[in-house]
Structure formats: structure tokens, C-alpha cells
Amino acid sequence: MKESEKKSTLAALSLREMKDKYVGVEGSESRRLYQHQLNMELLGRMIRATRKFRKLTQLELGEKVGVGKAQISKWETSANNATVDTIVKLFSALGAEIGFSVQVGDSGIELLENSQK
């Protein structure tokens, strides 16, 4: 097979098609787990970015929240084992507002924590 023929047989896949093929189709358990892990990793990155923005060490943030440096490190890597209460407590200690959004069909419900009522 010539090089030009090889190139023409390669098909371009969209990100959605790649996920469907290699992770699982939308609605499948494997896709749900993938999305959950991705969301927890992003949440961990937000915790770390906010801590650094506030110029706090992991130890200092841990003292504000009542946990050790190692626990902060785990949450920054992946917030998988953090409860909603813990996440609220973390961002509150960082002086940051957090929002929760729930999608119900075509309608959305949003809640902004730490906001004025």
C-alpha cells in the first residue's frame, strides 16, 4: 500500500465519537464513571488553583479546614472522596464563592453558596 493510500484510509473522529468508541456511549456506566472522574479531577484543580491564588500552602489550608497537608494534597489530585460539605468548607476557608447547577430537562436550577440573600 502506498503512503498516499494509507492516509486516505484514516478517518477523522470527533471527540464525541472517540469517547463513544474508547470510553463508552453516553448513558453507559463506563461513560458515567469517566465523566465523574473527570469532574473530580477538575474540582481538585480548582481547589489547587484557588489555594495558590490565595498564596496558601497545603499545610496552611489544612489548618483552616482542620485536616492535614496530605488530605489537601489528595483533594487537589482528585476530589473523589470529598463530600459536598467538605468542598463548601474548603472554598469557604479560601474565601471563594462556589455555585451548584442542576439540569432538569431543558431547565436549570442554580445555587450560589456564600452569596448575599
In a domain, 6, yes or no: no
In a domain, 4, yes or no: no
Which pLDDT score is estimated for 8?
53
In a domain, 73, yes or no: yes
Please report which confidence band the pLDDT of residue 17 belongs to, taking 50, 70 and 90 as the band edges. confident
pLDDT, mean of residues 84-113? 79
Q: Distance between CA atoms of 32 and 54, rounded to whole angstroms?
A: 33
- pLDDT, one tens digit per residue, over 26-53 is 888 888 887 877 888 888 999 999 999 9
pLDDT at residue 113 is higher than 60: no
In a domain, 93, yes or no: yes
Which pLDDT score is estimated for 70?
94
In contact, 72 and 62? CB cutoff 8 Å: yes
Query: Which residues span the domain enclosing 78?
Result: 14-112
Which pLDDT score is estimated for 116?
42
CATH code of 62's domain: 1.10.260.40
Number of neighbouring beta carbons within 10 Å of residue 58:
18
Give how many domains the chain has, as a whole number.
Answer: 1
Mean pLDDT value across the chain: 81
pLDDT, mean of residues 57-74? 95
Which pLDDT score is estimated for 83?
87
pLDDT at residue 114 is higher than 70: no
In a domain, 5, yes or no: no
> b vs e for 67-101, b when ≥16 Cβ sit within 10 Å of the residue's Cβ?
beeebbebbbebbeebeeeebebbbebbebebeee
In a domain, 102, yes or no: yes
In a domain, 2, yes or no: no
